[in-house]
Amino acid sequence: MAKLVFDEIGKRFYETGVSEAVLYPQDETGNYPKGVAWNGITAANENPTGAEASEHYADNMLFFSITGPEKFEGTIEAFSSPKEFDACDGMAEPVKGLRAHGQARQPFGFAFKSILGNDVKGENFGYKIHLWYGCKAAPSERSYSTVNESPEPQNPSWSVKSTPAKFTGHKPVSTLTIVSTDVEPEKLKKLEDALYGTETEQAYLPLPDKVKELLS
């Protein structure tokens, strides 16, 4: 039996940052056939809820507990959103340049990277890819104020709830996380070619079973 060692060099990890965000509007078949770069992302927050234990008593004692389902909620913050997000944000375009608000909201998928660092390589250690499925955005507040000596740009946020996607052998999932340091480089490249596209192939969001296949 080896004695535990704390704070070893190279094993002091941290996570930071958000970048390379991609929007994937969902089509009528439930797939995400086209990715669009989402520039100006300032934050992506994951706020799962539920999964609380419900306690049940018998014989004058705690007999058992049942854990409820977990639900995914999140927020996206950005200086702007791509035009393709308009339909996900409840807007239609009757004619070019005209936006009609309060319309049906198109579901979408979402992906972004966060930096995985350590005490030796810093922010060059690795990264995580976060995938969100079955998202629907709620209306967000937008404020307009006069330009002054300290102007502040709009930084709207969108609240997101998810309908989980099927994942064979597991419960349906709303999110997947890929850790670059745990995946073989050639397999990671296959997944990133799908997510971000290539010179000849359109970017798309693979469903959970396909993600597993690409990394297997």
pLDDT tens per residue, range 83-95: 999 999 999 999 9
Q: In 3-state terms, what secondary structure has residue 209?
A: helix
Of 105, 100, 79, 77, nearest to 90 by C-alpha is 105
* Domain chopping of the chain, boundaries: 13-54+66-141+155-215
Q: Which of 120-124, 135-139, 152-156, 193-197 has the lowest mean pLDDT?
A: 152-156
The answer to whether residue 178 scores a pLDDT higher than 80 is yes
Residue reference for tokens 């998202």: 135
| Cα distance between residue 95 and residue 164, in whole Å | 34
pTM, two decimal places? 0.90
What pLDDT is stored for residue 9 in this prediction?
A: 93
Instruction: Label residue 101 by pLDDT band (50, 70, 90).
Output: very high
Q: In 3-state terms, what secondary structure has residue 84?
A: helix
What pLDDT is stored for residue 38 in this prediction?
A: 97
